[in-house]
Chain A
Amino acid sequence: TQLLEQSPQFLSIQEGENLTVYCNSSSVFSSLQWYRQEPGEGPVLLVTVVTGGEVKKLKRLTFQFGDARKDSSLHITAAQPGDTGLYLCAGAPGANNLFFGTGTRLTVIP
């Protein structure tokens, strides 16, 4: 079983603060994806990282894939209330077969 552990599980911060969410595994993945899920909706893909050491930026979000392709991090700069949601990492051993992480529930307080 391929497990993806995310930390922290819950995070509550003030608007304008920075935060980092971690996604760790003992398994190597060919790619890793980050999703955000809001209440009553399905997860929405934010980014896919493929190469070890890769860094991708999406406005205030920075994603990094570990050199060994076993871990990843998501850093949010100057968090806003609209960033509130459940953040999920997902490893892809296959193209349409995702192993999801345990999730980080982020609340940004105005």
Chain B
Amino acid sequence: KAGVTQTPRYLIKTRGQQVTLSCSPISGHRSVSWYQQTPGQGLQFLFEYFSETQRNKGNFPGRFSGRQFSNSRSEMNVSTLELGDSALYLCASSLALGSNQETQYFGPGTRLLVL
């Protein structure tokens, strides 16, 4: 079974631009979560989507948004990019059975550099 895939793997943008990142979950997984990883702040939760609806949201500004399609694939968008948005963006999928022991499977991430 294929793992979580993220595209693109690397991206360079300039301040003020917007970017869209894509995540394809493991087949059969219904929940997709997004995280931002930086050296200074570590791994921080952005949001989670289930059945095309945002179910949980972290403490990030409205410039960060996402969506999920009927096939569970997800995209996240960052508008008006700032230098501080440079980070590794990780996507994770799970079966969404509702258990607190549920396993999230992470993709390799998209490394975004904002110049």
Contacts and interface: CB of A to CB of B under 8 A. Distances in A.
Interface of A: 1, 30-31, 40-45, 48, 50, 88, 90, 92, 94-103
Contacts of A90: 43
B100 A92 contact: yes
Interface residues of B, number: 31
Contacts, number: 71
A45 B104 contact: yes
Interface of B: 4, 31, 33, 35, 42-45, 48, 50, 55-56, 58-59, 90, 92, 94, 96-109
Given A96-B56, A98-B104, 16 more contacts: A31-B100, A40-B108, A41-B108, A42-B109, A44-B106, A90-B43, A95-B31, A95-B94, A95-B100, A96-B33, A96-B55, A96-B92, A100-B43, A100-B44, A101-B42, A102-B42
5 A-B pairs with least C-beta separation: A42-B106, A100-B43, A97-B56, A31-B100, A30-B100
